[in-house]
A and B are shown apart, each in its own frame.
Chain A
Amino acid sequence: MNKIKATFFIALFLVLTSCVKDVYLDPIDLPDVLTSEVIRVDKFSENEFFSVTNTGLYLQFDENDYVEYYSSDYADWTTFDWQQAKLSYQDGILLVSNGSKYILVSRNSIKSDEFDNSSLMLRPSSIISPSGVPLHVGFGDIQVDNNNELVYVIYIEKIESNGTTKIATEMKVSAANYDAIDLVFNPQGELVITTNPIYVVSDWNGNASNFNSIEPTNGFVNYKSIMQPTVVDGVLYGYSDAPSYYQSANTMYKFDLSSQTVTEFNLRDFCSYPDAVGGAEKHLNWNESNVSMLVPSEFGYTNVNGSPMSYIYSYNLEDETCDIITIPSSSFVQSTFSINDIGYNFNSDKVYIGLSSGLYVYDKNTDETSLFINSLLSLK
Chain B
Amino acid sequence: MKYRIVITTFILGCFLFVGLNAKSQEKSIYLFSFKHLKSSLGHEILFSPFLHHAKSPHLANYYINGGSLVYPTAVYNRVYGIITSTYQPKLRLVEFGSKASIALRIPMTLSLSTVDLKTKEGNKYTPSSVVSYNINFGYYEGSRDNALGAFSTEIGGLLGIDFGKDATIENEAKTGISLAAGYNIIYAPLILRKYDNEPRSAYKGLLSWGSLIGQVGIIKKGFSIYYAFGLNPTRVHYDDALGIESTVRTNTYQRLSIGFKLGK
| Contact (Cβ within 8 A) A25 B73 | yes
Q: Which of A333-380 contact B (CB under 8 A)?
A: 357-358, 368-371, 373-374, 377, 380
| Contact (Cβ within 8 A) B68 A29 | yes
Q: A269: shortest Cβ distance to chain B, in Å?
A: 39
| Contact (Cβ within 8 A) A23 B214 | no
| Residues A32 and B67 in contact in the complex (CB < 8 Å), given A21-B234, A25-B237 | yes
In the complex, identify which listed stretch (A5-13, A132-140, A318-326) lies at the interface while the others stay far away: A5-13
| Contact (Cβ within 8 A) A8 B16 | yes
Contact with B along A20-40 (1 / 0, CB 8 A): 111111111110100100000
| Residues A27 and B69 in contact in the complex (CB < 8 Å), given A12-B10, A16-B231, A21-B233 | yes
Contact residues in A for B233 (Cβ distance below 8 Å): 19-21
Q: Which of A281-315 contact B (CB under 8 A)?
A: none
| Contact (Cβ within 8 A) B232 A21 | yes
| Residues A28 and B72 in contact in the complex (CB < 8 Å), given A18-B2, A19-B6 | yes
Whole-angstrom CA separation of A200 from B81 in the bound complex = 78
Among A11, A22, A28, A358, which residue has its beta carbon within 8 angstroms of that of B9?
A11
Q: A22: shortest Cβ distance to chain B, in Å?
A: 5
| Contact (Cβ within 8 A) A358 B237 | no
A332 interface residue (CB < 8 Å to B): yes
| Contact (Cβ within 8 A) B130 A11 | no
| Contact (Cβ within 8 A) A19 B237 | no
Contact with A along B28-61 (1 / 0, CB 8 A): 0000000000000000000000000000001001
Whole-angstrom CA separation of A21 from B61 in the bound complex = 18
Interface of A is mostly: mixed
Contact residues in B for A371 (Cβ distance below 8 Å): 130, 135, 140
| Contact (Cβ within 8 A) A377 B70 | yes
Whole-angstrom CA separation of A215 from B171 in the bound complex = 108
Whole-angstrom CA separation of A371 from B128 in the bound complex = 12
Contact residues in B for A5 (Cβ distance below 8 Å): 17, 20
| Contact (Cβ within 8 A) A12 B9 | yes
Q: A332: shortest Cβ distance to chain B, in Å?
A: 6
Contact with B along A74-116 (1 / 0, CB 8 A): 0000000000000000000000000000000000000000000
Q: B101: shortest Cβ distance to chain A, in Å?
A: 17
Q: A114: shortest Cβ distance to chain B, in Å?
A: 32
Q: Chain B: which residue is nearest A1 at the CB level?
A: B20
Contact residues in B for A24 (Cβ distance below 8 Å): 236-238
Contact residues in A for B5 (Cβ distance below 8 Å): 15, 19
Contact residues in A for B9 (Cβ distance below 8 Å): 11-12, 15
Whole-angstrom CA separation of A21 from B72 in the bound complex = 18
Contact residues in B for A22 (Cβ distance below 8 Å): 234-235, 237
Whole-angstrom CA separation of A104 from B9 in the bound complex = 65
| Contact (Cβ within 8 A) B235 A21 | yes
Whole-angstrom CA separation of A27 from B244 in the bound complex = 11
Among B58, B69, B72, B135, which residue has its beta carbon within 8 angstroms of that of A358?
B135
Q: A373: shortest Cβ distance to chain B, in Å?
A: 6
Contact residues in A for B237 (Cβ distance below 8 Å): 22-25
Q: A329: shortest Cβ distance to chain B, in Å?
A: 13
| Contact (Cβ within 8 A) B140 A374 | yes
| Contact (Cβ within 8 A) A23 B236 | yes
Give the total of A residues in contact with B, Cβ under 8 Å: 35
Whole-angstrom CA separation of A12 from B61 in the bound complex = 33
Contact residues in A for B68 (Cβ distance below 8 Å): 29-30, 32
Q: A56: shortest Cβ distance to chain B, in Å?
A: 11
Q: Chain A: which residue is nearest B10 at the CB level?
A: A12
| Residues A30 and B70 in contact in the complex (CB < 8 Å), given A331-B132, A374-B140 | yes
B66 interface residue (CB < 8 Å to A): yes
Among A4, A21, A377, which residue has its beta carbon within 8 angstroms of that of B2?
A21
B239 interface residue (CB < 8 Å to A): yes
Q: Chain B: which residue is nearest A19 at the CB level?
A: B2
Whole-angstrom CA separation of A380 from B140 in the bound complex = 14
Whole-angstrom CA separation of A5 from B66 in the bound complex = 53
| Contact (Cβ within 8 A) B231 A19 | yes
Q: Which of B213-233 contact A (CB under 8 A)?
A: 214, 231-233
| Residues A23 and B140 in contact in the complex (CB < 8 Å), given A358-B135, A369-B129, A374-B130 | no
Whole-angstrom CA separation of A373 from B68 in the bound complex = 12
Q: B93: shortest Cβ distance to chain A, in Å?
A: 20
Q: Which of A197-237 contact B (CB under 8 A)?
A: none
Contact residues in B for A25 (Cβ distance below 8 Å): 61, 71-74, 236-239
Q: B residues bordering A, Cβ < 8 Å?
A: 2-3, 5-6, 9-10, 13, 16-17, 20, 24, 58, 61, 63, 65-74, 129-133, 135, 140, 214, 231-239, 243, 249
Given contacts A4-B16, A23-B58, A29-B70, 12 further A-B contacts (CB under 8 A): A8-B17, A11-B9, A15-B5, A22-B237, A23-B237, A25-B74, A25-B237, A28-B69, A35-B135, A331-B133, A369-B129, A380-B72
Top 10 A-B residue pairs of the complex, sorted by shortest distance between their CB atoms:
A25-B238, A27-B69, A331-B131, A8-B13, A25-B72, A19-B2, A21-B234, A28-B70, A32-B68, A24-B237
Q: List 27 A-B contacts (CB under 8 A).
A: A1-B20, A4-B20, A5-B17, A8-B13, A12-B13, A15-B6, A15-B9, A16-B6, A16-B214, A19-B6, A20-B234, A20-B249, A24-B236, A25-B73, A25-B74, A25-B236, A27-B72, A27-B239, A331-B132, A332-B131, A357-B132, A357-B135, A371-B130, A371-B135, A371-B140, A374-B140, A377-B72
